C-alpha cells in the first residue's frame, strides 16, 4: 500500500462533560473514501485505541491502495470513536489544514487540500 498522510489535522474533542479519563474515552479517526468504491480507509486501522484523543493539533496517516492519486479521493471524513464505555462526549473537528500523499521517495508531495473543512459529530 502507498501511504497518504493527512497532516496537522486540527481536532478538538469536546469531552468536558465528562472528560476523557481512565480506560474509557472518545477519540477521532479520519477516513478517506475513493471515487471508485465505498470502502472508507481509517487512520486508526479499525483499532479504536489508535484514534486521536487530544485537544491539540494532531497528525495522522491513512493507508491507501498503491497508485492512489489526489484525484482519486472522493472525501475525507472524521469519525467519532468510542474506547471502552461511551461517555456521551461529542467530538468537534475544527479543520484539516493539509493532506498529502507520499511520493515514491516517501517524501510528502504538495498538499491536495485546497480549503479548510470542518464538521460536528
Indicate the domain borders of the chain. Answer: 2-109
Cα torsion through 91, 36, 1, 121, rounded to 10? 0
> pTM for this one?
0.79
At 82 the pLDDT is 92
Q: Are 11 and 97 in contact (CB under 8 A)?
A: no
DSSP annotation of 52: B
For each successive 10 residues of the chain (121 residues), what is the average pLDDT? 49 50 84 93 92 78 86 90 87 79 81 60 42
Amino acid at each position: 500500500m502507498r501511504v497518504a498522510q493527512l497532516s496537522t489535522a486540527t481536532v478538538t474533542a469536546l469531552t468536558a462533560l465528562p472528560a476523557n479519563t481512565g480506560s474509557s474515552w472518545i477519540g477521532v479517526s479520519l477516513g478517506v473514501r475513493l471515487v471508485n468504491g465505498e470502502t472508507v480507509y481509517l487512520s486508526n486501522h479499525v483499532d479504536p485505541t489508535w484514534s486521536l484523543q487530544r485537544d491539540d493539533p494532531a497528525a495522522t496517516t491513512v493507508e491507501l491502495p498503491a497508485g492512489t492519486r489526489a484525484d482519486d479521493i472522493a472525501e475525507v471524513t472524521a469519525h467519532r470513536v468510542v474506547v471502552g464505555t461511551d461517555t456521551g462526549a461529542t467530538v468537534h473537528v475544527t479543520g484539516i489544514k493539509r493532506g498529502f500523499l507520499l511520493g515514491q521517495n516517501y517524501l510528502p508531495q504538495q498538499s491536495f487540500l485546497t480549503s479548510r473543512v470542518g464538521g460536528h459529530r
